[in-house]
Amino acid sequence: MRESSEYEEVMKWPQCIECGQSWRNATLNNANACANCGPGDTQVTAGRGECVIAVERYRGSQAVALEDTTARRSESLFQSLKPSTAAAVTSALTTEVLQARENIMRGVAAVNSGKRTDAVVVDIKYRLSGKPRVTADIYGMVRAAFNSETTLWDVQDRALKQFNVVWTKNGQIPIVVGETTLRQQDNRLIDQDMLGSTLHEYLAQLIDMGFSTAPTSVSRFGKKGLVHGKRVVPFELFIMEHMFAERIEKLALTNSVPTLEAGKLNSKRNRTGSMASSMMAAPAKVARVGTGGFEFRSSFALPPRSTSHETSSIHLSTEITLKRIECMHLTADGCPIFVPKEQLKAFIGEAPIAHGSMKVVFELTLSDSKTTTKYVVKRFYKLEDSGSDNDDDTSTKFDFSNPPFTVDEHTPKIRAECVRLAQGAQFLKDFYKACQQKGVSVYDYLRFAHSSLLQECGEVSQASGMRIAGGKASNALDLDTEHALPGFTWLMEERHASGRIERFSGTLQHSPLHSDITHLTVYAFAHFVYEFTGRQIVLADLQGTPTLLRHSGERIEGVLIFDPMTHTLNQGSGIGDCGVQGINSFLEQHQCGRICEQLGLSQPGEADLLTGANSRSSSPTDSDKDPTEGNLDKTPEPVGQNAA
C-alpha cells in the first residue's frame, strides 16, 4: 500500500506535532502545531518532508519520556521491596527481657520433654470483675515452668507482675495483690486451705478429686525410650476492679499523694525471692519522707527462685555450736525476761542469701533436726545509717565481712529486735481479747513471727564477720566456762513459705489506703497499742507475709507479721526508733475506721501532738542504752500466762 499514489498523497498532508492529526489543508504555525494545539502569528502550510521530520521528533521525545518514567517506577518498586536493615536486627525489648523469655521457654521445654521432673508447667489467664464471664485476653497469658514446691501465693504474685506490665502501659497505677484472687480454670474458686499449698500438693488434690489425671510416661513410634506426658495446671487471676477504684479514690484524697501520677506506688512490698524469711526487696531502709525525717525499713532481697532447668549454685556452710535463748516473759511494765535454753549444732551458710540497708541474712540448718522446718539467722552489718544506701541499686557492692562494731555493741541491738516481736505478740493477744469482749468483728488470723536468739559458743563463725588479725575469734568463748565473755548473737526465725510481703504501714507513714478487713484490723491494732500503753509506744513498719495457721483443727490462711519497729518517748527501743517524731507521725496521719470506733478509740487531733513540754525528757544516753539489760535469767522459769 505504501507504493500506491494514494499513500504518497496522504503523506504530503500537514500533520500537527502536538496532537498528531493530519488533513489535506491543515494550517500549522512555525512550531508545526495546529490552531487547536498552539496557535501562532505565523502560519505555514507544511509540505510532506517537514511533517515527517516533525512526527519523528515528537515520537522520539515521547519514547524518552516513557523510558524515564518506567525507570523511575522500577527504582521505586525496588526500594520498597528492599528489607529494612534496622527492623531486622533491633527490638523494643531489652536483652534482659529477651533472656528471661528464653529461660521461660527453656524451662517449659525441659518439663515437656521429661528432662525436668521436679517442675510443673502453669498456664495463667486473666479475668476482670467488670466482665466476669469472659477472660481478658488483651492482657495476654502466662506460661512458665515452676518448681513443684512453689506455693500458690508465689504463682499469684508472678501472674500479677505480668498483668501489671500491660495494665500500666497507659499510665495506670499497678494493681496490688490484695485486689486479686487466684482461681481455677473457668473462674472456679480454690479452697481456702489450699491457697498456701505447693503446686505438688495442689496437683495431688486435683487428681484425688478427679479434676485432673496424673501425667504418665508414654512411648512414641520410632523412639526406644519413654517420653513423659505434659503436666500443665491452668489458673486464672481474678482482678477486683471495684477494690482498685476505692484505693485510687483514697489515694487522690490523701494529702501525701495529691495526684495519681505522684501516687504510682504499690502498697505491697515487692519481693525478688520466694522461700523468704523476714526479708523483702523494698526501697532503701533510710529514705526521705514528706515529714522531713528518715524512713527506716527492714528491707531484704532474696534471689529469685529458679524456674529454669539449670543447676543452682552451691553455697558452702560451716558447722557451729549455738546456745538458744528465748524471750519467755514480759513483766508488768513490758520488760523482757530472757531464758537460756538448749545447746544446738547447726550449719550456717558462709555467704548471705539476702541483705537490707543494715542487716544481712544467712541460711541455717539444724544438724540433728528431725523436721523439715527451714530457718534463717540475721545480724546487723552496721549500726548507723547515713541514708545514702539504696537497696534497689543492684550494682552496689556491700562488704559484710568486717562490720564496724564489736560483739558487745551488736548484742543489745539484735536483742531489741527479738523484744519487739515478743511485745507485738503480747499486744496482739490483748487486742483480740478487747475485740472479743466488745463484740467487734475483726480479722482473726494475724500472728507475729516467733524468734529466738542464738549465741555462738567457741570460735565465731565466718558469717558473723567478727575476726581479728591472725584469723582468731573475738569475744566468743564457751558459755559453760566461768566468767566467759558472751558469744556473737544472731536472731533466728523460721523461713517463710511465700515471697509475698504486704505492707500495712511505714516507719513514718501511717495513712490508711485500704478498706479490706485485714488492713482495717491492722490500722486499729496500731491505734489500740498506742492507747493500751498509755500513749507511750507506737507500732510502725508493720508488714506481713501469707502463712498457714491451725485454727479449730483446720488449715487457714493468715498473715505473719515480722520485723516491726517501735517509736517510744525515750527513743530507746532499738534501731529505727524516732521517738516523739515517730509518735507524732502516727497521730497526724492515722484515720479511725469502723473498728477503732467500736473499740471506743477516739480520732487523734492536733491537741494530742507531743512537744517538749508534754513529753518525757530523755537523756542523751537513753537511746544508746540496752532496753533488755539485766533481764537474762540463768535459770529457766515456767512459761506464764503472758508468755510471748
Question: What stretches in the chain show pLDDT beneath 70?
Answer: 1-2, 38-65, 83-94, 96-97, 100-101, 108, 110-114, 192-193, 210-231, 253-315, 369-373, 385-397, 467-485, 612-644
Collapsing DSSP to helix, strand or coil, 328 comes out as strand
Q: Do residue 527 and residue 620 come from a single domain?
A: yes
Listing DSSP states for 568-634 in one string gives ETTS-SSTT--HHHHHHHHHHH----HHHHHTTPPPP-GGG---TTTS----TTGGGS-TTTT-B-S
What is the per-residue pLDDT for 277? 32
Chain centroid offset of residue 375 CA: 23
Q: Do residue 419 and residue 367 come from a single domain?
A: yes
**Domain-located, residue 412:** yes
Q: Do residue 447 and residue 410 come from a single domain?
A: yes
What is the per-residue pLDDT for 61? 62
Query: Which CATH number fits the domain that encloses residue 206?
Result: 3.10.20.90
Q: Do residue 233 and residue 137 come from a single domain?
A: yes
**Domain-located, residue 90:** no
| Lookup: cell for 357 | 540497708
**Domain end (from 263, 278, 307):** 263
User: Given the DSSP bridges, would you call strands 268-269 and 501-503 parallel, antiparallel or unpaired?
Assistant: antiparallel
Q: Do residue 55 and residue 112 come from a single domain?
A: no
What is the per-residue pLDDT for 447? 93
For helices 517-532 and 579-589, the axis angle rounded to 10 degrees is 130
Q: Do residue 49 and residue 142 come from a single domain?
A: no
What is the per-residue pLDDT for 206? 77
What is the per-residue pLDDT for 438? 93
What is the per-residue pLDDT for 254? 62
CA end-to-end span of the chain: 125
- Within 8 A by CB and 6+ apart from 543, the residues are 269, 280, 298, 501, 502, 503, 504, 561, 562, 563
Q: Do residue 474 and residue 604 come from a single domain?
A: yes
Indicate if the alpha-carbon torsion angle 509, 510, 515, 517 is positive or negative: positive
Distance (Å, rounded) from C-alpha 478 to C-alpha 457? 5
425: phi then psi, degrees, rounded to nearest 5: -65, -40
Residue 370's CB: how many other CB atoms inside 10 A? 6
**Domain-located, residue 86:** no
| Lookup: cell for 573 | 527501743
- Within 8 A by CB and 6+ apart from 524, the residues are 431, 442, 592, 593, 595, 596, 599, 601
| Lookup: cell for 67 | 523510558
Distance (Å, rounded) from C-alpha 419 to C-alpha 337? 9
What is the per-residue pLDDT for 93? 62
**Domain-located, residue 577:** yes
pTM (predicted TM-score) = 0.60
**Domain-located, residue 631:** no
Scanning 303-450, the segments in alpha helix (DSSP H) are 407-438
**Domain-located, residue 214:** yes
Q: Do residue 600 and residue 472 come from a single domain?
A: yes
**Domain-located, residue 633:** no
Distance (Å, rounded) from C-alpha 164 to C-alpha 98? 18
**Domain-located, residue 489:** yes
The total number of structural domains that make up the chain: 3
Q: Do residue 256 and residue 321 come from a single domain?
A: no
434: phi then psi, degrees, rounded to nearest 5: -65, -40
Instruction: Write out the residue range of the structural domain in which residue 554 sits.
Output: 317-624
Q: Are 179 and 266 in contact (CB under 8 A)?
A: no
Listing DSSP states for 444-497 in one string gives --EEEPPEEEEEEESSPPGGG--B-GGG-BSS---TTSTTPPP--EEEEEEPPS
Q: Do residue 63 and residue 120 come from a single domain?
A: no
Of the candidates 128, 117, 132, the one whose C-alpha atom is nearest the C-alpha of residue 163 is 128
What is the per-residue pLDDT for 564? 92
Of the candidates 234, 311, 299, 304, the one whose C-alpha atom is nearest the C-alpha of residue 269 is 299
Q: Do residue 174 and residue 235 come from a single domain?
A: yes
Q: Do residue 171 and residue 126 come from a single domain?
A: yes
Of the candidates 343, 348, 360, 344, the one whose C-alpha atom is nearest the C-alpha of residue 318 is 348
